[in-house]
Structure 1
């Protein structure tokens, strides 16, 4: 099984390359393993925002803040 760290690294790499669909797929896989990680929700939100899917991005950012109200990374 691929670790969350590996999924996040691949997702970030695709995000930086502008391949948002692949990035989103990796972040979704990571979230299947841990839905309580605010950083994962934030990364998914950043990706969705980059895709122009603003409503979904806001939902992810809100979930990140719900899990950790002091989350300074939530965009």
Structure 2
């Protein structure tokens, strides 16, 4: 039996199929969006220390409100000493 035939026979399944489809699409799109963020590591061998390449001007959260970034002085001193 075809999905469309089943939906025409039982009209109460239409909202259920719509909600499940929207939820599945949302889950897949959120997963793909999360993979594009810089804090997700897919290949550790290519980039073993990804936190060194984080752009401070680009927000790292899903929603960022009033983010102002300032470098931490102690970390800058340590970074200069270790290079």
- TM bucket, shorter chain: under 0.3
Q: Which is bigger in relative contact order (C-alpha 8 A, separation at least 6)?
A: 1
Rg: which structure is higher? 2
In terms of fraction of residues, the more helix-rich structure is 1
TM-score normalized by the length of structure 1: 0.24
TM-score (norm 2): 0.23
